[in-house]
Structure 1
Amino acid sequence: MSSSILRPLANSAKTALGRRTLATPTSVNPSMFQSVLPPTIPAALHLKTGESYYGTNFGSTNSKYGETVFSTSITSYTDSMTDPSYRGQLLVFTSPMIGNYGVPSNAPLPETPGIPFLESDGIQCAGVVVSDVALKYSHYQAIESIHEWCARHNVPGISGVDTRAITTLLRDQGTTLGRLAVGDDAQYVPKAEEYWDPSKDNLIAEVSTKQPYELNPNGKGPKIAILDFGSKANILRSLVKRDARVTVLPWDFDFNAVRDQYDGLFLSNGPGDPTSIMETVHRVTKTINEWNKPIFGICMGHQILGLAAGMETYRMTFGNRGHNQPVLALASSGSIKAGRVYVTSQNHQYAIKLTEDFPEGWAPFFINCNDSSVEGIISTPESGKHIWGVQFHPESAGGPLDTHPMFTDYVQACADKSASGMATSELKVDTHAAAAAAAASA
């Protein structure tokens, strides 16, 4: 097949199953050429290890404590800042300019009602650290500047600091507790005991849904339950666009009490340390041992799966945060081919420990090409299970779509399990969209 034929197919797949799209505006937003500029207010980033960096404030004028981390993402700052996995963190962007294309509306798209356009209902990080903030912006979808957006969400930012120096420091000594101080607070250097450690709080409980809710209840695809540890919106969108009927459950919901109602279980991403919710881990262990339907875990969900299977997790020095992390597939499954390198989007501080012998019935699925950390686990054919866990984010938003077809693999596996208990005509899977997604990733 010629490349001229494949290219439109790939583009249509990205539109249907991958990237979010917005309707073209009927008129130019005049605010793209002008923005409300903040007054010049001093700000500082103080680190618990003793370093201080001074610049100017944008966004909110309050001061915030948090864990200082860095992201190597070049674009999609709006997606990163609304990712619940960044809850309680002071986010340092290594990209030299942030804010130049503004911030779009977060209203749900017509085809995915109930799911915000960005990755959650609002900004999740505690503060933002940039080298150069663009207070004026230009993009046809933008409705406000990053300054206006941060101010509206009570999130402070600091600009004019050497983010390269901060990143080098964090790479050498690891992620560090910090305080983004604004105004008169900027000159005060906190004592060591004053720094707030977000990992001591139950961040998952803060970002998880408080009540179960349904998405696409009238769909024709399999019925999937999501344990919400802080799910990104594009995970929900990726399932709904494949016509799955999705029920989102709170992080501490006992899925085993209702598991027979579902064709698959999905464990979402989320912030913090997976060992902080061991009661949930024990429930997932019970699910794995007693249930024989597909389970897919991403990021925090991947770590929960590992702990439930008897593996160990550990805290990385500075984690992996960015849209450019290469991973090597060690096994083939569905759209994933062993021996191929995939570029992925990531945001995590913890990882599954790589050991010489994995628990019986499990095998490593992916490994990070940079630091050899475990990027995925998979149940073996001998186990009779259909379970996958990946440390990266196949839903991207932002980032590459290399592994996005894994959602098609998972939904199809759930559909196959569901079809084994009903007439095939009762279950509808968008096979054309699945084929298009596979072509897009080839």
Structure 2
Amino acid sequence: MKYQKKLKAIILLADGTIFYGKSVGNKQGSAFGEVCFNTGMTGYQEIFTDPSYFGQLMVTTNAHIGNYGTNADEVESDSIKIAGLICKNFSYDYSRDNAEGSLEEFFENNNVLAISDVDTRALVSYIRDHGAMNAVISTDVDNLEGLKKQLAKVPDMDGLELASKVSTQSSYFVGDENATYKVAALDIGIKKNILRNLSKRDTYIKVFPYNSKFEDLEAFKPDGYFLSNGPGDPEPLLEAQNLAKEVIKRNLPLFGICLGHQIIALANGVSTYKMHHGHRGINHPVKNLKTGKGEITSQNHGFAVNREEAENHPDLEITHLHLNDETVAGIAMKNKNCFSVQYHPEASPGPHDSSYLFDQFIENIKK
């Protein structure tokens, strides 16, 4: 293992609490965002490149990060999307046959700050007790008052529109143009593995920017419509909500994941809210209320659908519930070809218990 000179670093939370660590590599500076944690024991590269994490400082609860290096096939977007990394032990050396480089190099190439040697158990416990909040990680440890002033100017995630920061700027195609089915996908932070799961089910996908109108997607003459995952608060995404309303009004096949699930709820007049600290990990238990079966799921969201409003809505049924806190994990429209889930059936990382949902979407298209 090569020797690393580690600079002192701090995590300053919005409420003034401070945790201490060391910088990873030689990178200096500061990174701001909402602090959150992921309990996954593997899949760090997929997590760091997931657009849903844009604007967030990621705390990893696994004790070792970086020990199996990186591979270009395991990214979910074109770059690291987290604002910064907070971990316990950062592995500068790695061992895996198909690794193409170290995690340190990956962070250096993406110009993203990471800090290690942090008591992540204490930090995660604090977030669980006090909720997700804005924070800064910094090597500028002697400028506490300056960091506090800068942190005070960072906008809260509640009410923050971020899909425009991660969406494609222009439309593009995925899959075989001779496939049996065509799907129009709205990119509000889409993961590559969602596109892989759709394309391997005999679909040709056209991916559209976040602010596309229904007419834009309709011109592709798709057999089905898809609303992706993504970062931030769903409420400001009025264009996406209007698009969903148009698809629903015409009773066209519609499937939404994560942020897309929240958009479908809002399109039906059901509100969303910011959770205390969210669900982020690859072992979240969900019950399918239609089959009675349990699923272990991959989740990543800080907002959720109002359960009481969903239960009282005449046109909606709750199809899945999170078993830890009984929040809404899936909904379907009773008389429309529309359903959505709060979690990630494409996993990446995570279990494949829920991959049947892509098959369900294709079945809905066939109908």
The alignment's TM-score, normalised by the length of structure 1, stands at 0.78
Q: Is the 8 A contact 2:161 2:234 kept in 1?
A: no
Secondary structure of the 2:125 match is helix
Instruction: Give the equivalent residue in structure 1 for 2:200.
Output: 241
Matches of 2:215 and 2:77, distance apart in 1: 27
Matches of 1:201 and 1:369, distance apart in 2: 28
Secondary structure of the 1:322 match is strand
Instruction: Give the equivalent residue in structure 2 for 1:144.
Output: 101
Please point out which of 10, 13, 18 is paired with 1:52. 18
Matches of 1:38 and 1:146, distance apart in 2: 14
Matches of 2:131 and 2:24, distance apart in 1: 26
Is 1:376 the counterpart of 2:313? The answer is no
Runs of 4+ off more than 6 Å: none
Deviations 1:16-61 (A, max 9, x none): xxxxxxxxxxxxxxxxxx66x6432111111111111111111542
Q: Which amino acid aligns with 1:151?
A: E
Matches of 1:392 and 1:258, distance apart in 2: 24
Instruction: Give the equivalent residue in structure 2 for 1:12.
Output: none
Secondary structure of the 1:143 match is coil
Following TM superposition, by how much is the alpha carbon of 1:198 offset from its aligned partner in structure 2, in angstroms?
6.0
Q: Is the 8 A contact 1:311 1:358 kept in 2?
A: no
Matches of 2:180 and 2:363, distance apart in 1: 9
Matches of 1:79 and 1:68, distance apart in 2: 18
Distance change in 2, residues 1:141/1:399 (3 Å): same
Is 1:42 the counterpart of 2:2? The answer is no
Is 1:359 the counterpart of 2:313? The answer is yes
Q: Is the 8 A contact 2:182 2:205 kept in 1?
A: yes
Please point out which of 33, 55, 76 is paired with 1:88. 55
Matches of 1:172 and 1:305, distance apart in 2: 31
Is 1:103 the counterpart of 2:70? The answer is yes
Please point out which of 398, 409, 412 is paired with 2:360. 409
Instruction: Give the equivalent residue in structure 1 for 2:293.
Output: 340
Is 1:350 the counterpart of 2:303? The answer is yes
Query: How much is the aligned-residue C-alpha RMSD, in angstroms?
Result: 1.6
Is 1:390 the counterpart of 2:345? The answer is no
Deviations 1:77-136 (A, max 9, x none): 001000000001100011111111011124xxxxxxxxxx41111110010000111111
Please point out which of 151, 174, 179 is paired with 2:136. 179
Secondary structure of the 2:235 match is helix
Q: Which amino acid aligns with 2:141?
A: A
More helix by percentage: 1
Distance change in 2, residues 1:151/1:246 (3 Å): same
Please point out which of 82, 85, 88 is paired with 1:128. 85
**Correspondences of 1:161-310 after superposition (within 5 Å):** 161-182=118-139, 185-189=140-144, 190-191=147-148, 194-195=151-152, 196-197=154-155, 199=157, 202-259=161-218, 261-289=221-249, 291-310=250-269
Matches of 2:316 and 2:218, distance apart in 1: 22
Q: Which deviates the most, 343-352 or 186-195?
A: 186-195
Percent of aligned positions that are identical? 38
Instruction: Give the equivalent residue in structure 2 for 1:70.
Output: 37
Q: Which amino acid aligns with 2:200?
A: K
Question: Which is higher, the Rg of structure 1 or of structure 2?
Answer: 1
Q: Which amino acid aligns with 1:50?
A: G
Matches of 1:186 and 1:204, distance apart in 2: 32
Q: Is the 8 A contact 2:161 2:233 kept in 1?
A: no
More strand by percentage: 2
Secondary structure of the 2:137 match is strand
Distance change in 2, residues 1:258/1:100 (3 Å): closer
